[in-house]
Structure formats: structure tokens, C-alpha cells
Structure 1
């Protein structure tokens, strides 16, 4: 990704990506029912939906999709954490005939699960292909998600911008920043910085991000 010299106005709010979790102790109010063309509907605010996600521990949720059979769910609860090398706790529940919902406990496991598009899980001399997909409130088992994890590079970026928060500020122009690579973190490759981001493949991606240093 080429670099130039002015800061762009991004449509995404960088600060909102790293705000603290909503207050889970605050109860959600009952919502009134309204009617549209004779059909009942209930309207929730976006903030309330976010609160629901945290209350149900879904902020690091990942879908596991099996296309060619899968072990019993009680067996998957033992197999997945071990063979996917998860470091934290993981709540695993059946979501459908071919899908399981994995509630990871930390960002590291969430990123690692989504960074690999598929895992081959071995059980009783059989190998089962499990694809990993991002969960969101509008997840539809019948549709393929367009969200994925990818590395983006910033060649020729001045080394003073290798601070994690500054790299994330740049990466948010492309997607949701998740992780800085070890070479960037350890300052062993000053010629190029890399950031792992969550992106929508149907989105438009800039080839250039402008940077400016403003004098006071």
C-alpha cells in the first residue's frame, strides 16, 4: 500500500473500535411492539444490540462449518480447543446441522481461528473439514459470508509510525485492525509495517493513504 502525505477523513470511527465493553449489568428494557402494514415489529437501538452481544459473550464468536459430516457436539467440545490450539476457554454449541458456534474468550483465539480458513479435525481415524467464518447478528447459514481476515502492508512508512495505535489508525481506512505482525512490533523490519485486519471482500479498498504532520 503506497503512502503519501495528507490524512484522509475515514468513514469509520477509530475510537469506537477500541471503546470499553458496554455495561453488562444494566438490564435491557422491554421494547414496545409497533405495526407496519399489519405486521408486528420491534425496534432496538444499535447500542442495545451491542450490549446483547457482550451479555451473551459473542464479541469473539466464530462459526465452524462442516460440509462433509462432523463428530458429535460433545466430542467437538474436546477436539476443537486442542486441535485448533486455543489458549483460552471456548464455549461450543450446535448451531445447525452443519454449523457450530464457538464463543472464544479472548481476541487472540478469535484472530487465530479466523486467520486460517479451514481446519482438518481428526477423530477416530477420520478427518473432518471445518471452515471458520465470522459470526455476526445477521449470520445466515444459507449464505456465504464476505468477511475475512487479511494482512495489509505499509511499505516505506517512517519507523516512528510503527507504534501499534498509529498503525491501527492507518489500517482502519481498510478494515477493522486486529493485530500487528511480530516484525513490526519488534522493529526488525523498518522497511514495511504489516497489520492484520478484518475486511469485507465486497468493500472498496484504498491503494494509498495520505499522511500529514501538522505543525502547531
Structure 2
């Protein structure tokens, strides 16, 4: 747009062809898999691939993640705009819909962007909360893998151990290292190190480790604090609850044992002409107006 009356143009610099090309979706790099005829087993047609072929075909998606919204997801255009403006990625990812209407697939071009996206502490887009997962060829939309990004704090860890290579080694028994937070990276907070790890929520967690031989005066017993680790259910393979509270396969008409037992109070019994036998502990005798015993029962004490 030309300037008017000597005023500078309000339009930004013109975008080059390379700018448009970089934001346009690019074709996947072609992966050649040798052709083979289908196989048959009991009337069923099937194909099989070697682990090397699976790995090879998965290479273009090695920096991908799945986002599962906990309620109706925003539009894809809104999600793309939010990611561009809020996530601070070095390149623009490809965002696409998946089979389940609440799920989206995000394909990035480098590991740094993937780590940054997985370790975001504010897990919502336009106010809609979500859960994020690293994608793998075994990913199943109907199930949630137990490997979840979680923030872990190592209180009192000496600052000379804040290097990424050291933290990755120290946290290996806990989970897969994703990244450090900025205060740990810059050592602007030296009361401990804070790291994001991909943790298997289905396994028992460790709560400390030793730097040096355990129990020695010169060694350090390092405490582990888990900040954001969700519950995981092995029964339905979903996050957010455990097996005890899982509703999968539960009979809706089933009533749990050990519920409350309602018993008449002494004043209610007296009002109806009934009396409590004081010589028999934990026993109540009900009688009619004629004084004849109608029934009896024993109240068992709950210990």
C-alpha cells in the first residue's frame, strides 16, 4: 500500500514466497517399503511389517504429539492460532484432526519444539483443558498411555548438578528427561532443581536417590517431589483416577457393602411403646402395647 500525504504506510513488509512456502503443509518424505502380497489366516486378510519398517515409516512423525481435550475442542483454526501465538515454537507445526473428535495430532519439525510443547504447565487452549502424549506407532486413541509429562523438584540439589547432562543422568530412574525450567537453566534459583520428565504413572514411584554410596557421611540423600503426576487406572488404561474409583464394567445397580444401617433412637422406641433391655448389651427388644415381644435383634458393634 502506498503512503498517503507523506505518512508512512501501515502495511507490514511484504511477505516473500519463502514465507508462504514455509507455512504451507509439505508432502511427507517418501519411504519405500517393498511390495508384498497379502496373507490369509482363517479367512482373514492381514499384512505384517518388520520392526525396521515400522521405525522407518515412523521417522517423519518422530517429533509428534497427541492432544486430548477433556471436553469439546476448539476449532482447528483457533488451535493453530493459539499455538503460534502462545507456545513459542521455533517453527510452525502441522495440526490435524484425529478419529476421535476431541483429539488432535501435532507434528513438529524438531525435538526442541516437542519438548517445549510437552512440558507446558498451562495445559489448556482457549480455556479448554487437555492432556498431552508423545506419539508412537503403538498409540491407541481409545486408550491413554501411562507415560505422562510431569514436573519434578529436587530440593536442595547443589547448583553444580544443574547441567542438563547431569540432571538427565540423575533423573533416569524416575523417567525420561524432557527439559529444565528456566530458573534451573540460568541458576537464578538455587534452592533446588526443577525438571520435566516423561514418567510411567502405572509404576511405583521412587522418592529419593543417593549421590555417592548410600549411608556414607560424604554422600547425599536426594529427595524427590512430584508436582504434577496424574493418577492412572490399569483397568481402563485412562488417566485421572485409579482402579478403586474406576467405573469401567461396574454394575450401576450394584450397591457397595458396608453402608449405613439406620437404627431407631431410644426416644423413638419409647414413643412407640418399645423399650431397650438394659441387661442385655447391644440388644433391642421391641414389644407391642400388650407387652408381648414382637421381635428381637442384636446390633453388632463396628470396630
- Which residue of structure 2 lines up, in the alignment, with residue 166 of structure 1? 166
- Which residue of structure 2 lines up, in the alignment, with residue 42 of structure 1? 48
- Which residue of structure 1 lines up, in the alignment, with residue 92 of structure 2? 89
- Which residue of structure 2 lines up, in the alignment, with residue 202 of structure 1? 202
- Cα distance in 1 for partners of 2:156, 2:187 equals 14
- TM score, norm. by length of structure 2: 0.49
Task: Give per-residue Cα distances to partners, 1:162-199, cap 9 Å, x unaligned.
Answer: 32211111111111101122333223344422221111
Count of residue correspondences: 181
- Which residue of structure 1 lines up, in the alignment, with residue 66 of structure 2? 63
- Is the 2:149–2:198 Cα contact (8 Å) retained in structure 1? yes
Q: Secondary structure at the match of 1:101?
A: strand
- Cα distance in 2 for partners of 1:85, 1:185 equals 17
Mark the CA change 1:86 to 1:210 in structure 2 (over 3 Å): closer, same or farther.
same
Structure with the largest fraction of strand: 1
Mark the CA change 1:36 to 1:211 in structure 2 (over 3 Å): closer, same or farther.
farther
Q: CA deviation at 1:27?
A: 4.4
Higher relative contact order (CA 8 A, sep 6+): 1
- Cα distance in 1 for partners of 2:184, 2:116 equals 18
- Which residue of structure 1 lines up, in the alignment, with residue 7 of structure 2? none
Q: 1:77 aligns with which of 66, 76, 80?
A: 80
- Which residue of structure 2 lines up, in the alignment, with residue 180 of structure 1? 180
Q: Secondary structure at the match of 2:96?
A: strand
Mark the CA change 1:161 to 1:43 in structure 2 (over 3 Å): closer, same or farther.
same
- Which residue of structure 2 lines up, in the alignment, with residue 107 of structure 1? 111
- Is the 2:93–2:106 Cα contact (8 Å) retained in structure 1? yes
Q: Which moved more, 1:76-85 or 1:29-38?
A: 29-38
- TM score, norm. by length of structure 1: 0.65
- Is the 2:79–2:125 Cα contact (8 Å) retained in structure 1? no
Q: Secondary structure at the match of 1:179?
A: strand
- Cα distance in 2 for partners of 1:84, 1:187 equals 23
In our comparison, the structure showing a higher alpha carbon Rg is 2
- What is the RMSD of the two structures over their aligned residues, measured on CA atoms? 3.2
- Cα distance in 1 for partners of 2:191, 2:115 equals 25
Task: Give per-residue Cα distances to partners, 1:40-63, cap 9 Å, x unaligned.
Answer: 451422x44333222x2x222122
Mark the CA change 1:138 to 1:207 in structure 2 (over 3 Å): closer, same or farther.
same
Mark the CA change 1:113 to 1:26 in structure 2 (over 3 Å): closer, same or farther.
closer
